[in-house]
Amino acid sequence: MTMPGRADHQRGHGLLLRWLAVFAAPMLLLALFVWCAGWFPPRLTSQRIVDAFEATTTPHPGFRRNHAKGICITGHFDSNGNGASVSRASVFERGSYAVVGRLSRPGGNPQQDDGEALVRSFALLIALPHGEQWRLAMNSTPIFAVRTPQALFEQLQAEALDPHTGQANPAKMQAFLDGHPEARAFLEWVRLHPPSSRFDNAAYFGISSFRTTDAQGVQRFVRWEVVPDSPWRPVEARAQSDPDFLSHALMTQLAKGPLRWHLVLNVAMPGDPIDDSTRQWIDSPQRERVDVGTIVIDRAQAQIDGPCRDITFDPTILPDGIAPSADPLLAARSSTYSVSFNRRTREEAVAGSNGR
């Protein structure tokens, strides 16, 4: 038997390359045709997510694309030192740290009635030594409706206003829910937990999991919540006659004295999901819960010129000793907050130059 020589191998290799070239050209043309026909969905980006938020309401230049209606708050965080058992973060060293925050309701319309809001939101920036910050973005629900940025984008598409009617299409939302059964847990939680009558008597949850590292290098996963000193009460019908009852009630309560919430770290147990914000951790007497201090709010200001106006409450801005988990929503929130900030500040700059 004659063994193939080097020349035979080179001829075979050259023939293979020629056949690949013959097939590559039409395949490339086919791929370009499919792309131009829109059969390949465009890559999901933070810009497209912000576009989708914008499509859920009429234009409101200069405002946040979500949580557009809110009020600035200031105060301090009294750390009791207990958090050092979980994390080496400087925020858990005993002491008092300045706080700038924002209380708000979801949605992109800053004129929307408070009575339509089923969820309240609480965002904080805690200023720490050596230039560190801890930014927290929390909702009055312990879970989120969707697990991934793609699912969030699809939810926003389902909520988009029809350009002809100015209303959302219920059929689109039903189709979204049919395709995302995990969202039903969120809807059920909201159904069973009526919204609070005020901002200050609601508990707020970080929702996503975060990884902590203590002074010995031991790592844990936690979810945090803030628990109000004020007892929860549901919204009363008479309060809803005021479209801005949440901010008005906040000012009324602050006139009586500071408002307080306890910041609590819930430590993960075996089996707890750490990368899925749609799943609630079980309520167990065995769970370690660490009360790490008290958030004290003593002043509120309008967001139009208040200290929270130019802050993005990016939940991935964390002190050493706290880090994001693998929850895919965290990175998406960070990037979309940045895009929203750039758009609204650019709109403010244009409006300011036109007004001179």
Tokens of 291: 């009360």
For 1, the 3-state DSSP assignment is coil
Active-site residue, from 9, 13, 60, 67: 67
Could you give the CA distance from residue 316 to residue 322 in angstroms, rounded to a whole number?
Answer: 9
Residue 337 assigned ligand-binding role: yes
- Residue 332's identity, in one-letter code, is A
Query: For residue 210, which of 249, 266, 263, 163 has the smallest C-alpha distance?
Result: 266
Per-residue buried b or exposed e for 172-191, using 16+ beta carbons within 10 Å of the residue's own CB: eeeebbeebebbeebeeebe
φ and ψ of 353, to 5 deg: -70, -35
CB distance 75 to 297 below 8 Å = yes
Catalytic annotation on 67?
A: yes
CB distance 228 to 202 below 8 Å = yes
Residues of the binding site for heme: 337
Report the catalytic residues: 67
